[in-house]
Amino acid sequence: MVACPATVKFEEVAASTVASALAGGFISAIGHADTAKIVGTLLGTEVAMNRVNVTLTADTELYIAQVVGGRLPEGCTTLPEGVTIRFIRAIIA
């Protein structure tokens, strides 16, 4: 949820950009354990499953891990063929 009024800018970024940005600490809002584990592997850091509601306010920077190409099957530990994860930075102003 975004607190209004707000302007949101989205840009696709590399996994290395996300990993660098999160090096100082972060709060995960990934609600599925398998997805969190795969994202953590891609970023080279532990990412906790944390099903929480998030409210974004001005000066918030959010990184989105978007699964593209289908849903991840229950219990998967790697990305299935044809499925990728792209990273998007959202900046709230």
* pLDDT higher than 90, residue 50: yes
pTM listed for this prediction: 0.87
Would the pLDDT of 3 be above 80?
no
User: What is the structure's pLDDT at 16?
Assistant: 97
pLDDT of residue 4: 75
How confident is the model at residue 61, as a pLDDT? Answer: 86
Residue 11 buriedness (CB in 10 A; 0-12 / 13-18 / 19+): exposed
* Number of other residues whose CB lies within 10 A of the CB of residue 58: 12
Q: Please give the class, per CATH, of domain 8-92.
A: alpha beta
Q: Give the model's pLDDT for residue 49.
A: 96
pLDDT of amino acid 83:
94
Render pLDDT for 69-82 as a digit per residue (tens, 0 to 9).
998 888 898 999 99
Query: Residue 92 in contact with residue 6, Cβ under 8 Å?
Result: yes
**Which sequence spans correspond to the domains of the chain?**
8-92
> Which helix (DSSP H) or strand (DSSP E) does residue 11 occupy?
strand 8-13
